[in-house]
Amino acid sequence: MNQRYNARNDEHTLKVSGSETLQAAPDQATITLGVMTENEDPQQAQQANSQAIANVIASLKSAGIPEEHMKTSEYRIDPQYDYIDGKELFKSYKVQHIIQVQTTDIEKIGSLLDTAVKSGANTVTSIRFSLSNPEAYYNQALSLALNNAYEKALSMAQTIGISLNPIPNQVEEVSETASPMLYQSSSFAKMAATPIQPGELNITASVRVEYTY
């Protein structure tokens, strides 16, 4: 961290920065998955897609996911073309229905993916891990960051032989970081007992503090 000693007699300040990073296991996740179907007849492609996504939703409900924890995030119908000898030739219509599934049962994410795929899901876009109460961890990190800044200031004061006022003259919160962790799968793959390791999230807090002496 950057730190600066200001020795001008008219200011008598000591400026330091402090930071702290905590790690926490995520307690919730958002899975983005869905069904893609193709057919030369858009109505048939749409009907096949509707049936498949209904099967996926039903299977996830049977696995313990409440209906209110599932929502459509994208639905589209697009014509598909082949390009042969520089010419655009119609191929089919592609229907894509993507849903987001929220769960707090982190240990069962792998089995949920398997269930969805077995029932018709052929697109798994991402798994987004996060904390239900990130503010609690951030506030703890913020407090530790302030302690870190004070320890720096105290060490500097002792080194240069000054008496530090322990009460800060100014405190500035620099940043906060509690970004969700993203697991991505860009293409469909056959899954069996899919192992998903959520790891831990980093929560970082930083401050700039000014002390007087």
Q: Which residue has the higher pLDDT, 140 or 190?
A: 140
Domain containing residue 154: CATH number? 3.30.110.170
Q: What is the pLDDT of residues 19-42, one digit of tens each?
A: 999 999 999 999 999 999 999 999
Domain containing residue 84: CATH number? 3.30.70.2970
Give the pLDDT score at 193.
56
Residue that is last in its domain, among 130, 161, 191: 130
Claim to verify: residue 97 and residue 151 sit in the same structural domain = no
Domain of residue 194 covers 1-27+132-213
Residue that is last in its domain, among 130, 162, 178: 130
The band of 197, judged by pLDDT with boundaries at 50, 70 and 90, is: confident
Structure pTM? Answer: 0.77
User: Does residue 148 register a pLDDT over 50?
Assistant: yes
Claim to verify: residue 44 and residue 104 sit in the same structural domain = yes
User: Does residue 106 register a pLDDT over 60?
Assistant: yes
The DSSP result for the chain, as a single string, is: ---EEE--TTT-EEEEEEEEEEEE---EEEEEEEEEEEESSHHHHHHHHHHHHHHHHHHHHHTT--GGGEEEEEEEEEEEEEEETTEEEEEEEEEEEEEEEEES-GGGHHHHHHHHHHTT--EEEEEEEE-S-HHHHHHHHHHHHHHHHHHHHHHHHHHHT----SS-SEEEEEEEE-PPEEEE--S----SS-------EEEEEEEEEEEE-
Claim to verify: residue 119 and residue 169 sit in the same structural domain = no
Give the pLDDT score at 175.
74
Claim to verify: residue 145 and residue 160 sit in the same structural domain = yes
